[in-house]
Amino acid sequence: MALPEKTKNLLIAVSRYLISGVLLIYLYNQIDVETTVAIVKSADMGYMLLAFFIFNLINGMILIRWLIYVRALRIDASFLRLTRYFSIGLFGNLFLPSAIGGDVIKTMGLCHKRQGKAKVVASVVLDRLSGFASMVTVSTVAFFAGYHLLQDMSLLALIIIVAGVSGGTAFIISNEKIYSFCCRAFQVFPRLQKGLMNMHYDIVLLKDGKITNLKAIFISSIAHSSLSFAWFILAKSLHQDIPLIYFLVFVPFTCFASTFPSVGGLGAREAAAVYLFAKVGVEPGIAMSVSLLNYLMMVLCGLLGGAVYMLTKDPRPDIPVVTPNIS
């Protein structure tokens, strides 16, 4: 007997909370708790504040990256409205499944009572794909620049996998025959199938597509490099002297890991950090602590985003109060 849709969604959500919890408990049992706690308690607040400042700059860059696609797709939305939905998306990332849960919120908000909903979805999809492309770009350049320090070909394999997933997704979306074939799975939902095909046409007909994508990837690469530097600063706050090149290679992979089923990427991101930084001799407790401090910065930015959303609320109807389908 098939489960009701609400029950199914609830079970999926609970399972993702469990995944985050299980991963964190497992990692907790792998670290020297007393030593790690002592290091975290001695954190330098000056470095912490600098990291928070950098995180806010990064969010500004990501907002501009989304704006590039919104303008290229000729979506009629003011910068203030985009900022509001981007801000509530940051807040949503704190509790929705994976680190891309906020994309659902900002998509719903911008689509509400608006024509051209497929274009809105296309802008968010392209925005996310450009993020993956920049992850590959930053990690690849850093890998070859620091190969004399790393000398680990398994990292190159990871880069190829991420590049293959993101590149393959982009290829399918831009190829009408393959994409339309994949959309046949939604034949029982004709409106959804039509919307997905409209999104494909919007992407294919993107104004100045190559230049637009290059602009977005360039800004995104700066953002990801800045994120790596923010992790480097967080490590400095814990009095750790870890070369920046390692963060430039590893941090993009932790971002990719955070897209896997979890709550805001929590647990998956930390597991990736512990695994990757162990390759260069960083203690699991330190890697996990830096990753959790990164999550703390995300929480603070998310709360700030929620405040921005509320303070800039206009009198017009806004996001409908509905529970998104997270399956």
Q: What is the pLDDT of residues 93-120, one digit of tens each?
A: 777 665 566 777 777 777 765 666 788 8
Question: What is each CA distance from 300 to 94, 184, 194, 295, in whole angstroms?
Answer: 10, 42, 39, 9
User: What is the pTM assigned to this prediction?
Assistant: 0.82
Measured CA to CA, the distance from residue 92 to residue 285 in angstroms comes to: 28
In the DSSP assignment, the letter for residue 185 is: G
**Amino acid 107: pLDDT:** 79
d(CA 48, CA 234): 6
Instruction: Please give the pLDDT value at position 98.
Output: 57
318 Cα distance to chain centroid: 24
Residue 325, pLDDT score: 35
Which tokens belong to 239? Answer: 């009095």
- The region, left, alpha or beta by phi > 0 then psi within -120 to 50, assigned to residue 113 is left
Amino acid 255: pLDDT: 86
Closest CA to 249 of 116, 94, 145, 123: 145
So what's the pLDDT on residue 317?
A: 46
How do residues 276-321 score in pLDDT, each as one tens digit? 999 888 999 999 999 999 988 998 999 998 898 888 775 454 443 3
Q: Is 240 helix (H, G, I), strand (E, B) or coil?
A: coil
Question: How far is it, in rounded angstroms, from Cα 286 to Cα 246?
Answer: 14
151-165 burial: b if 16+ Cβ within 10 Å, else e: eeeebeebbeebbee
The ranges of the chain with pLDDT < 70 are 1-13, 16, 96-101, 112-116, 207, 314-327
Per-residue DSSP letters for 262-289? Answer: SBTTBTHHHHHHHHHHGGGT--HHHHHH
pLDDT at 101: 64
